[in-house]
Amino acid sequence: MKKTALLLFVAFITLLQTNSCKQCSTPKETTTDTTDSTDIPTLKSMNEAIKLDSLNPVLYYKRALLYEANGDLKSAITDMYLALSIDTLRPELYLYTADLFKKSGEPIRGISLMNKAIATDSFHIPFYVKAAELAYIDTNIAKHYGMALDYLNTAIQKDPQNADVYFYKGNVYKEAGDTSKAISSFQTATELNPKFYDAFMQIGLLLKEKKDKNAAKYFDNAIRVKENGSDALYAKANVLKEEGVKLYDANKLPEAVSKLQQAIAAFKQVIEQDHRNVEAYMGIGFSYYQMDSVREAYEYYDKALKIAPTYAGAHFSKGLCAEELGKTKEAIMLYQNCLNIDPEFSRAAKHLKDLQEN
């Protein structure tokens, strides 16, 4: 779970930095050099340029990019300190240097730098967010979640209408295991930004984990705000599928069939957007199989295997269908394929043994 939360966290930090004050990222002096990382000259030419204009912070920034690209983070950090010694007011220099500290495994130094940045501009929200990110990813910092939340809460005091910061808070609470506060933070983000797709998704996923029937509503909201939100469609389809299984187990067959048919329709929408989404084919196959539509299930498991021929679960599921359809030799082959891929697949081993003994 942490990997997913961290990816989302970092992605939105990047978004907020991109949308931050454009004036802050404009060089103070008119110059042909910019902090654009495209068309970076060679290291040799950069050294020559710095000799001719040693007080240009942008040149040190560009050379730092070259050092970073070559894996020399130490030299990149040294250059960024030189850039910051010349220009202490440019936010992107601080933020890039903090990223270098993150990559070099020195988040505490990055946090210290962000504190200096905050001292230069206490209303620049990305500084607080970057400090929170560095604390959030470093489990060596005592109470690192608490430190991250402190920075984010300060950011909210500075900019209480910033939906992104509430989203970051939600991710921290989620990773800390406080689901209720995570949902509350994500909900605040959607209230401030009614088109916040990822916040709707996070609420839906958390509610799904709690088996809360309101999960589908939040996936619907996510679908509504993003035209090609296949992950929201897929999540909703899974909710419908699980509800169908629950109804089936409760012997409410008509209601179960209705939910499973809705799940199939949603999975098919996913496939319309991404015809290689193997899990959507598997979801359809499972739903058909649950309704005793074995031939249809067999066809969709077969489609899944054509996309992912090394998917052990697809071999097993297609094998179940083949077995029920009387295709014993094929079922044996499919179970064997499954076990070749995953020797620990106990259900496949049992079915294979039963067929071979008979």
> What are the pLDDT digits (tens) for 197-225?
999 999 999 999 998 989 999 999 999 99
Distances in Å between the alpha carbon of 129 and those of 15, 16, 155? 11, 9, 7
What is the per-residue pLDDT across 162-186, written as a single tens digit (0 to 9) for each?
999 999 999 999 988 999 999 999 9
Residues in the chain: 358
What DSSP character marks residue 93? H
Q: Are 335 and 304 in contact (CB under 8 A)?
A: no
Mean pLDDT split into 10-residue runs, the chain, 358 residues: 47 47 35 42 88 96 95 96 96 97 94 96 95 83 85 96 95 92 97 96 95 92 88 93 94 96 96 95 97 97 97 98 97 97 96 91
Whole-number Å distance between alpha carbons of 287 and 7? 31
pTM for this prediction: 0.71
d(CA 189, CA 167): 6
Tokens of 85: 């010694």
- Give the C-alpha separation, 194 to 212, whole Å: 22
Residue 119 contacts residue 136 (beta carbons within 8 Å): no
Average pLDDT, the chain: 89
